[in-house]
Amino acid sequence: MNEQDTLTRKRDETPRAKTFLHEIVEEDNRTGRFGGRVHTRFPPEPNGYLHIGHAQSITVNFWLAQDFGGKCNFRFDDTNPTKEEQEYVDSQLEDVRWLGFDWEDRLFFASDYFEQLYEWAVKLIKDGKAYVDDLDADQIREYRGTLTEPGRESPYRNRSVEENLDLFERMRKGEFPDGAKVLRTKIDMASPNLNMRDPVMYRIRHVEHHRTGNKWCIYPMYDFAHGQCDSIEGITHSICTLEYADHRPLYDWYLDNLGIYHPQQIEVARLNMTYTVMSKRKLLGLVRDGHVRGWDDPRMPTLAAMRRRGYPPEAIRDFCARIGVARSDRTVEIELLEACVRDYLNLHAQRVMAVLRPLRVVLTNYPEGQVEAMTAINNPEDESMGTRQVPFSRVLYIERDDFMENPPKNYYRLAPGREVRLRYAYFIKCEEVIKDAQGNVTELRCSVDMATRGGDAPDGRKVKATLHWVSAAHALDAEVRLYERLFTQPFPENAPDGEDFLSNLNPNSLEVLSGVKVEPFVKGAPVGSRYQFERQGYFCIDPDSTTDKLVFNRTVGLRDTWAKVQQKGG
Ligand code: ATP
Ligand code: MG
């Protein structure tokens, strides 16, 4: 089998439309610019967990390569050791794999290229195109000028090549403290593009790196590293977000002045989503300050959190395909992502019955000790998923809010003297309401009509509601974690004067229900198993589960809120 076959076999089949990137590649293939090659890369910095914005970047890069029989590399942009950690490396690898993408043997680290980057910096010094500057960070900023004022040249700009070579080597050897010197590119302090005003190439950081340890105490800046890494790897189309458009002249300048293979940088819009913050710095703050339980807290927009919450990778890919690639920044409604999750789970999730807030029901005329097996449909959308047997007995639980002692007019569920259907079982009628000393309803005594087995009355009488239930003696105990949006505002960064996005945190984003009763079918299911709890939504088994107590996260509710958003929008 040739390599092309292997790649075709591994193609992810998520339905997706062509994007403007496909047009760019087609044009390059027509002109033969890259000899028909398509080679992209996903280049995260290991300074946090990957989020839904990264999912977009992952799909854009892997799909573009797949659609043209090309390749996509995984490259860690690990040039800033002060913020980077092995934990983030590990989680990012796991998350991309989980999302369904395979970089095969092409896992790279910018830090693998430090020696080569150093040599290229030396070359620029020798060519008179780089110099060691003693100005500190504040001074460099001040000398840089503004959009309306040209910058001023550093007094160290005209050091000789020999002096620069000597100083740069001594920077590497660790002779100078952090911030004492930097290596800068000699371009143009009057350039209208601030990025071209003698950008910094290397800074001194006496910090241990998660991969190179203490081998280096100088580290390359993103701009000096990124294009050269792309070049080394033979990348053809280097996709980044729009804020790097102003850096493209610098990307090109380094490659041209080093005279090395030259990939094409292409900018695409960043994904923003309502009710969500996407900056890793802000997400780190939420974790560090305990506003959430960790990077994988199901309320977070990280892929680890979505996995834990029960979002299937297929649904996230579908979301990325539906939003496509944009040329200008936009904010996507979170309801669309939820709709993708709901659509997928509707087709694939096993149905079970679970009672979140149980109310005890005793069927007074049902034989003590009798247990019947009722046949229930596993997924009405997918017959091949078959049926299962659900135990039914004299004492059951129903949902507390499926009973009202004094029901208003349009309430059709259980009430004193009223009859309802129990799904897959019998009609029952509420005969008596038992209360505690405080007057709280603690139990219902109901009669069951044994002639209605399977759910219909032979005499044709109708009921207006069908309730879910579980048999008390057979139910599993569970905890359920219900989530609301993490922020109360669709644009959390819009905060009142003097306050930040934290002021928009939703204090009620987590509700924990204990004493939940679940149908025995789920017994022994592995962490991550997903279900529809009938009438309640989609739920997923959390890793906090123990042998005695299951823990479920509510993945998403049943109501299609996306349809509503679309209607509102016109
Ligand atoms: P942050 O500023 O939050 O740290 P970043 O862009 O620096 O984000 P990286 O780890 O460098 O984060 O991102 C890896 C890749 O993912 C980059 O190519 C980046 O353009 C892309 N990316 C990051 N955030 C988004 C987003 N919200 N939408 C689309 N692509 C994104
Ligand atoms: Mg970055």
Catalytic residue among 270, 299, 394, 517: 270
Q: Which long-range contacts (CB under 8 A, 24 or more apart) does 109-112 make?
A: 109/75, 109/76, 109/78, 109/211, 110/75, 110/76, 110/77, 110/78, 110/79, 110/220, 110/225, 110/226, 110/229, 111/76, 111/78, 111/79, 111/209, 111/211, 111/212
H-run or E-run covering 496: none
Nearest-CA residue for ligand 1 atom 4 is 280
Indicate which residue's Cα is closest to atom 14 of ligand 1: 44
User: Is the CB of 44 inside a 6 Å radius of any atom of ligand 1?
Assistant: yes
For residue 261, being part of any structural domain is answered with no
From the CB of 85, is ligand 1 less than 6 Å away? no
* 497 shares its domain with 542: yes
β-pairing verdict for 107-109 and 71-76: parallel
439 belongs to a structural domain: yes
**What is the reported pTM?**
0.95
Q: Ligand 1 pocket test: pick from 49, 57, 226, 325 the residue with the most ligand atoms within 8 Å of its Cβ.
A: 57
Ligand 1 centroid to 50 CA: how many Å?
A: 9
Q: Which residues, in sequence order, are bridge partners of residue 321?
A: none
Domain final residue pick, 412, 440, 475: 475
pLDDT for position 560: 78
Same domain, yes or no: 507 and 367: no
Q: Does residue 112 sit in helix, strand or coil?
A: helix
Query: Which of 475, 493, 522 lies at the terminal end of a domain, its last residue?
Result: 475
Q: Is 53 a pocket residue for ligand 1 (Cβ < 6 Å)? A: yes
Centroid of ligand 1 to alpha carbon of 200 (angstroms): 21
Residue 242 lies in a domain: no
Same domain for 346 and 383, yes or no, is no
Choose the final residue of a domain: 419, 448, 475.
475
Active site residue 317: no
Q: Would 11 be classed as within a structural domain?
A: no
Please give the pLDDT value at position 497. Answer: 84
Q: Is 45 a known active-site residue? A: yes
CATH number of the domain within which 390 lies: 2.40.240.10
Element (H, E) at 63: helix 52-67
Q: How far is CA 240 from the centre of its chain?
A: 18
Please tell me whether residues 530 and 387 are part of one structural domain.
no
Active site residue 270: yes
Instruction: Tell me the backbone φ, ψ of residue 481, rounded to 5 degrees.
Output: -105, 115
Distance CA 564, CA 569 (A): 9
Task: Write the DSSP symbol of residue 372.
Answer: E
Contact call for residues 206 and 218 (beta carbons, < 8 A) = no
Judge contact between 315 and 344, C-beta under 8 A: yes
Ligand 1 nearest-atom number relative to CA 240: 20
Q: Whose CA is nearest to atom 16 of ligand 1?
A: 54
Asked if 335 and 364 sit in the same domain, the reply is no
CB 29 within 8 A of CB 64: no
Does a structural domain hold residue 533?
A: yes
Chain segment 498-518, per-residue pLDDT in tens = 889 999 999 999 999 999 999
Are both 364 and 462 inside the same structural domain? Answer: yes
Q: Are residues 377 and 359 in the same domain?
A: yes
- Give the separation between CA 527 and CA 552, rounded to whole angstroms: 9
Q: Is there a domain that residue 342 lies in? A: yes
- The answer to whether residue 1 is domain-embedded is no
The pLDDT score that the predictor gives to residue 1 is: 40
Low-confidence ranges of the chain (pLDDT < 50): 1-2, 4-9, 570
Q: What does the pLDDT read at residue 569?
A: 64
Q: What are the DSSP E strand ranges found in 68-110?
A: 71-76, 107-109
Claim to verify: residue 370 and residue 284 sit in the same structural domain: no
Please tell me what DSSP assigns to residue 174. Answer: T
Q: Which residues surround ligand 2, an ion (CB under 5 A)?
A: 45
Q: Which numbered atom of ligand 1 lies nearest the CA of 283?
A: 3
The total of structural domains in the chain comes to 2
Q: Which residues constitute the domain of residue 521?
A: 280-350+478-569
* Closest residue CA from atom 10 of ligand 1: 44
pLDDT at 441 (0 to 100): 98
**Does any ligand 1 atom lie closer than 6 A to the CB of residue 240?**
yes
